[in-house]
């Protein structure tokens, strides 16, 4: 089944890949529509250009139809149709002849990665530009170049998607991902696609304890905009949150903490990764670079950390045309999905229990303990006795699992039995 | 003198060794009587079968007179008279002919330790059985075996001993040991015998600050029974406690912490072992297996840790006939006794002192400081000045000794002098 | 300029070197007068002999004019004029003939350092004595020796200097150094001379936030005397303090913490040394030996630590005639001075700031952030964003600098810009 899930997610990534997304515009809307097919409860929101959001305001909406350069020899290069990365994000329209010298001022390439088209944007200063592989740039001969960008910057909207999946409690788990990147795969089609499948799984999850707030936004301005409208309610309700990004390749599992690294999100993320992928990479908050920058900012202080596969900025293909659909795989996507599902399961099970009897309970007569003594007790009995020993009403189940060195999901049956037997009960 | 103590303790172990003890019955009573000769203030308590003790109840009393198997060739094997370990503890009576196949279902042996008779019990489910060396078991030939166990399970009592040695304060040091094991030496004749000698020493200790509560019980059901009758008073008064077990061999010194490892008992145990036996083994609470399971259970929460020589479960002879009087030695017993005496001395001296003057006192005119300066001051003067520097009314003497890296018993004369001079006074 | 400062400080050390100082007397006064030429706001205080200071009292004042021994062969040895270390500090006057055997009882030398005259004192027990190189002592032949010490112990005064340099706040930084050592250079002319230049620099420091309390005292009795007169006010006002000693050689930078190592002084000292001299030596409070013994004593509890070059007691020349003006150098003195200046700068800048906007501010429009995205942001932008991320009104600037692994003085321009832009404001 799960391999199947990986393929499904990979197929949707493939469908989304060619679309030219940015922080605003029709590409973003079109991509949201594709995801909404798998996540019917996703509501689309539109915030008008110029709306004040804390220290920022919603920028003009950007759309683009066509862009290319005609070289002196008549050949079309940097064709937007070939790769939407060829155009500097938020480029103003242009249509003129320029010399090679003039053109060079508007070209962006990576000398260290001669085959890669870089991903460059200029959201808050109007300029035009093209991105090109260094190898191609070096072939350009002097002469007149026709530069043509058929784009539009206009008063419009910033678009985002939001789904609220109600649970028994109003306390919330917050999941945020971003969809503003054009044709790149790990950073960032993996995040929105895996998040969509998590949302799908959550709607089927019986007896959900928590309410889930899931948003698909443009990065930075999207989280700032969303927070400016929702932060008061979120500060009241959100008990844990995750920024979902770079979760589709096969190379690593990674964790980036919240600002102080001491929230419930951090605790559960580290517990799950330690037991499922003990060789995971643990970054510092100083290595951050995505929307946790806003969620964990002073005064906002939401308990948000990141669980990733290979982190943005930490792989050579990052923010170039090399971050493509070969890098993101069904196995990679499924691995990221699995870790997030386990993380949510642990959160759902992380209550504070207390023993109902003094001293160890007589478990033998309940069929939970061997009736004959032996030199060594089984691992399962040991875990059960250890778990019981720490159920003092102060520690949550994850705390105890950490203390007794087991993965919470490996003892869920034991915990369930002890609750069924009336030996453990939740602390109000 | 101390070597002599070791021999005295070893002799009593030898006297106790052949007696068949269990969690109830006459063997336990007979053993308590032997210990009471050295500990006259030990009171014997009897708790009736069926008494409710938290989640448990006192089981029937078990006594046994004789047990053996007659092999097809007429030879008597598994003779209780040769070793009381041959009978499964709490065996119901039996007297019948069985085939070898039938017999095998009631035999217990250790394939990995072919020479050892294992120690097995079945307190809470009625069954009969014999324990046999694997080597002997392998020699059994098909045929009819007569199995004979002349035992009795009846409404009776659970027996335990308790001594209260009053000190100036009602605050208590609690010492618990268990006497329910049949013919085994380290686990467990060493515990009750060393405890008896600690009690003897305590009655002679002048100006006892603390009251000492010492109990000799059957393991598990004994501690649960005792707690059910005394836990309220104990939770009010007990400031430190120790479970005394496996304290008679020569191989190691060990420490097993209380549930959170942060009690006065833990502090003093680690302080003493670090300074007297720096290579001691420090276990986790997860490695526990004796009555600290009850004393440290949620809601009971007594400050109890264990100081041992080689810990139960951590030596090959454990719970077999090989745990015999060659393994426990006078030197081994005396070493355990010495560590416990030092632990109690540290507790008795562990008060919170405060300097009576601001700045360093003028110690030269009191004869405590050299009147002539030199390049380096003596270690004793350094320890004294360091001790004084931390006497701020917040740290106890053990805390300070830890901070200044000395063993509290090595500076007791210095502390005494400073109190005599009026430079230090106890904080109320 | 700074090399020049080193030379200036070295010259003053040279001027002070030959003077015979002790904890009282004219040599101390004469040395204070020399320092006062560079530190005009230094006030001289005189405390009468017999004044009660906590557990101590001010001793008699000691002055000495001449001292020597005439050997049987008529040669003058141990001549005070050659080195004032030849006389035991606080020697009573003497003028008589003694045999070699008698003389030996009054001689002090160091067998392990045969060329060194040791520095020995006897402040609180009246005796006479001479200090001599072991090599010279071994040459002494039997016969009658004339011992002559023209000294005087009389009712007089203990002298100390004090400068208060007022800042905007009454909260104080306390700096203490001692001037009671005779002809020795690192321990201790470096301390008072560097302190004098720190005072000079402070008087020129614009917009001083803190008030500076600087004292030049005799060691031990001086700090006890000073505290007995000022501790209540100091406990109210002093937020950080430093004992300045052994700060003139070139071999090491060292830090010795306050009693619990957790004061603002400790924090700033470790921050500065880590970033300026990462190989600095970190001592324990147990290694203390100077006036922090009094400042950090129970009940006094001032936040005082020590920043040193090579610590007293930790170099072979310590407390001997070998601690001379070759060991202390202009470069050594200047290095110590620089570290202290940086320490004070950090303290002056160590306020608690808070962001004035939620989420990250829009820094691009303020010219503080690049308007075009790139794969990696510059180190300066990274430091700025990291600094901002922790300005939550709970952490001081040093705390944040520690968290983000930068030296506070390396980002002072960034912090200044953010304050200028109104993005950060101080927490009241």
The 10s digit of each residue's pLDDT in C116-133 is 999 999 999 999 999 999
Task: Spell out which residues of chain B touch residue A358, defining contact as CB-CB under 8 Å.
Answer: 54-55, 227-228, 231, 297, 299-300
The 10s digit of each residue's pLDDT in C305-359 is 999 999 999 999 999 999 999 999 999 999 999 999 999 999 999 999 999 999 9
Q: How far is B55 from chain A (nearest CA, A)?
A: 6
Interchain pair A389, B227: CB under 8 A:
no
Share of chain A above pLDDT 70, in %: 99
Interchain pair B358, C300: CB under 8 A:
yes
Interchain pair C300, B361: CB under 8 A:
no
* B55: nearest CB among A362, A374, A393: A362
The DSSP secondary structure of C125-191, one letter per residue, reads S----EE--HHHHTTPPSSEEEEEEEEEEES-EEEEEEEEE--SSS-EEEEEEE----S-STTTTHH
Q: How far is B218 from chain C (nearest CA, A)?
A: 47
Cβ C381 vs Cβ C369: under 8 Å: yes
Q: How far is B204 from chain A (nearest CA, A)?
A: 34
Interchain pair A297, C373: CB under 8 A:
no
Those residues with Cβ within 8 angstroms of residue A206's Cβ, 6 or more apart along the chain or in another chain: none
Interchain pair C360, A118: CB under 8 A:
no
The DSSP secondary structure of A268-296, one letter per residue, reads HHHHHHHHH-TT-EE--GGG--STHHHHT
Please list the helix, strand and coil fractions of chain C in percent, rounded to the nearest 5, in that order: 35, 25, 45
Interchain pair A391, B298: CB under 8 A:
yes
Cβ A283 vs Cβ A325: under 8 Å: no
* B300: nearest CB among A359, A361, A404: A359
> Which residues of A lie closer than 8 Å to B, measured between beta carbons?
354-355, 357-362, 364-365, 371-376, 382, 385-386, 389-393, 404-405
**CA terminus-to-terminus distance, chain C:** 38
β-pairing verdict for C352-355 and C281-282: unpaired
Q: What is the mean pLDDT of chain C?
A: 96
CB count in 10 Å sphere of residue B141: 9
What are the tokens at C160? 């100390």
Task: Spell out which residues of chain B touch residue C118, defining contact as CB-CB under 8 Å.
Answer: 375
The DSSP secondary structure of B124-190, one letter per residue, reads SS----EE--HHHHTTPPSSEEEEEEEEEEES-EEEEEEEEE--SSS-EEEEEEE----S-STTTTH
Phi, psi of A395 (to 5 degrees): -105, 140
Share of chain C above pLDDT 90, in %: 95
CB count in 10 Å sphere of residue A309: 27
Instruction: Among A352, A353, A359, A384, pick the best mutation site for testing chain B contact (most B Cβ within 10 A).
Output: A359
Task: Spell out which residues of chain A touch residue B118, defining contact as CB-CB under 8 Å.
Answer: 375
Interface ipTM above 0.85: yes
The conformation of residue B118, written as its DSSP 8-state character, comes to B
Chains that touch A (3 or more CB pairs under 8 A): B, C
Q: Which helix (H) or strand (E) holds C61?
A: strand C61-70
- In angstroms, the CA C406 to CA C388 distance is 13
The 10s digit of each residue's pLDDT in B14-44 is 999 999 999 999 999 999 999 999 998 999 9
Sign of dihedral through CA atoms A286, A287, A289, A295? negative
Mean pLDDT, range C31-40, rounded to an integer: 96
Q: What is the pLDDT of residue A153?
A: 96
Task: Spell out which residues of chain A touch residue B122, defining contact as CB-CB under 8 Å.
Answer: 371-373
What are the tokens at A243? 């920024």
Task: Spell out which residues of chain C touch residue A121, defining contact as CB-CB under 8 Å.
Answer: 372-373
Interchain pair B357, C224: CB under 8 A:
no
Q: What is the pLDDT of residue C1?
A: 45
The 10s digit of each residue's pLDDT in B119-133 is 999 999 999 999 999
> Which residues of A lie closer than 8 Å to C, measured between beta carbons?
54-56, 89, 110, 118-125, 127, 220, 223-224, 227-228, 231, 259, 285-286, 288, 293-294, 296-301, 313, 318-319
Chains that touch C (3 or more CB pairs under 8 A): A, B
Phi, psi of C272 (to 5 degrees): -70, -45
* B294: nearest CB among A360, A371, A374: A360
Tell me the three state secondary structure of residue C57. strand
Interchain pair C360, A120: CB under 8 A:
no
Report which of B86, B162, B166 is spatially closest to residue B128, judged by C-alpha positions: B86
- In angstroms, the CA C277 to CA C270 distance is 10
Task: Spell out which residues of chain B touch residue C300, defining contact as CB-CB under 8 Å.
Answer: 358-359
Interchain pair A372, B121: CB under 8 A:
yes
Task: Spell out which residues of chain B touch residue A424, defining contact as CB-CB under 8 Å.
Answer: none
Report which of C150, C185, C125 is spatially closest to residue C69, judged by C-alpha positions: C150
Those residues with Cβ within 8 angstroms of residue C401's Cβ, 6 or more apart along the chain or in another chain: C271, C387, C407, C408, C411
Please, which pLDDT band fits residue A44 given cuts at 50, 70 and 90?
very high
The 10s digit of each residue's pLDDT in B233-287 is 999 999 999 999 999 999 999 999 999 999 999 999 999 999 999 999 999 999 9
- In angstroms, the CA A149 to CA A144 distance is 16
Share of chain B above pLDDT 70, in %: 99
Instruction: Among A299, A312, A313, A322, pick the best mutation site for testing chain C contact (most C Cβ within 10 A).
Output: A299
- In angstroms, the CA B38 to CA B67 distance is 32
Interchain pair B359, C54: CB under 8 A:
yes
Please, which pLDDT band fits residue A312 given cuts at 50, 70 and 90?
very high
Cα distances from B75 to residues B71, B107, B137, in angstroms, run 5, 17, 14
Task: Spell out which residues of chain A touch residue B294, defining contact as CB-CB under 8 Å.
Answer: 359-360
Interchain pair A360, B293: CB under 8 A:
yes
Interchain pair A124, C364: CB under 8 A:
yes
Interchain pair A54, C404: CB under 8 A:
no
Tell me the three state secondary structure of residue A88. coil
Q: What is the pLDDT of residue A3?
A: 58
Task: Spell out which residues of chain C touch residue B386, defining contact as CB-CB under 8 Å.
Answer: 286
Cα distances from A90 to residues A123, B124, C373, in angstroms, run 6, 78, 11
Phi, psi of C393 (to 5 degrees): 85, 0
Among A296-310, A368-382, C215-229, where is mean pLDDT lowest? Answer: A368-382
Q: Is the pLDDT of residue B1 over 80?
A: no
The DSSP secondary structure of A289-324, one letter per residue, reads -STHHHHTSTTT---EEEEESSPTTSSTTTTBTTSS
CB count in 10 Å sphere of residue B232: 9
Share of chain C above pLDDT 70, in %: 99
Single pTM value for the model:
0.93
Q: How far is C69 from chain B (nearest CA, A)?
A: 21
Cα distances from A242 to residues A55, A254, B71, C50, in angstroms, run 24, 13, 71, 71
Q: How far is A417 from chain B (nearest CA, A)?
A: 17
Q: How far is A404 from chain B (nearest CA, A)?
A: 7
Nearest chain C residue to B375 by CA distance is C319
In what side-by-side order are the strands of the sheet with B76-77? B76-77, B61-70, B144-154, B94-99
Phi-psi region of C392 (alpha: psi -120 to 50; beta: other; left: phi over 0): alpha
Instruction: Among C184, C298, C304, C323, pick the best mutation site for testing chain B contact (most B Cβ within 10 A).
Output: C298
Interchain pair A385, B293: CB under 8 A:
yes
> Which residues of B lie closer than 8 Å to A, measured between beta carbons?
54-56, 89, 110, 118-122, 124-125, 127, 220, 223-224, 227-228, 231, 259, 285-286, 288, 293-294, 296-301, 313, 318-319
Interchain pair C120, B359: CB under 8 A:
no
Task: Spell out which residues of chain B touch residue C228, defining contact as CB-CB under 8 Å.
Answer: 358-359
What are the tokens at C278? 């990462």
* A386: nearest CB among B118, B127, B286: B286
């Amino acid at each position: 089944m799960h391999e199947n899930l990986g393929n499904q997610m990979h197929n949707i990534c493939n469908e989304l890949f060619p679309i030219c997304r940015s922080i605003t515009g029709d590409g973003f809307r079109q991509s949201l529509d594709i995801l909404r097919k798998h996540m019917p409860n996703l509501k689309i929101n539109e915030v008008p250009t110029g709306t004040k959001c804390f220290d920022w305001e919603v920028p003009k909406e950007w759309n683009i139809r066509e862009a290319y350069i005609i070289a002196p020899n008549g050949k079309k290069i940097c064709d937007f149709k070939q790769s939407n990365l060829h155009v500097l994000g938020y480029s103003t329209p242009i249509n003129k002849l320029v010399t090679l010298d003039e053109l060079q001022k508007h070209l962006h390439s990576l000398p260290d990665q001669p085959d890669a088209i870089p991903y460059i944007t200029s959201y808050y200063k109007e300029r035009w530009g093209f991105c090109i592989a260094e190898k191609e740039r070096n072939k350009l001969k002097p002469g007149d170049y026709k530069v043509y960008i058929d784009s539009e910057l206009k008063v419009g909207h910033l678009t985002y998607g939001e789904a609220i999946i109600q649970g028994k409690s109003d306390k919330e788990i917050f999941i945020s991902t971003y969809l503003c990147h054009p044709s790149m795969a790990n950073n960032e089609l993996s995040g929105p696609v895996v998040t969509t499948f998590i949302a799908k799984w959550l709607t089927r999850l019986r007896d959900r304890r928590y309410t889930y707030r899931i948003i698909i936004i443009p990065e930075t301005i999207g989280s700032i905009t969303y927070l400016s409208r929702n932060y008061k309610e979120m500060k009241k309700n959100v008990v844990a949150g995750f920024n979902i990004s770079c979760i589709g390749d096969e190379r690593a599992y990674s964790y980036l903490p919240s600002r102080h690294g001491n929230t419930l999100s951090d605790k559960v993320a580290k517990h799950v990764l330690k037991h499922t992928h003990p060789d995971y990479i643990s970054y510092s908050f100083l290595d951050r670079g995505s929307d946790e920058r806003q969620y964990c900012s002073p005064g906002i202080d939401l308990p948000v950390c990141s669980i990733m596969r290979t982190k943005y900025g930490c792989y050579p293909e990052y923010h170039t045309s090399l971050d493509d659909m070969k890098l993101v795989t069904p196995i990679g996507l499924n691995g990221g999905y699995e870790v997030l599902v386990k993380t949510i399961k642990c959160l759902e099970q992380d209550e504070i229990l207390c023993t109902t009897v003094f001293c160890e309970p007589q478990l033998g007569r309940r069929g939970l303990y061997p009736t004959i003594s032996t030199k060594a007790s089984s691992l399962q009995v040991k875990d059960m006795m250890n778990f019981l020993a720490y159920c003092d009403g102060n520690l949550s189940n994850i705390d105890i699992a950490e203390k007794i060195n087991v993965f919470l999901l490996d003892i869920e049956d034991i915990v369930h039995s002890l609750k069924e037997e009336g030996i453990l009960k939740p602390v109000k």
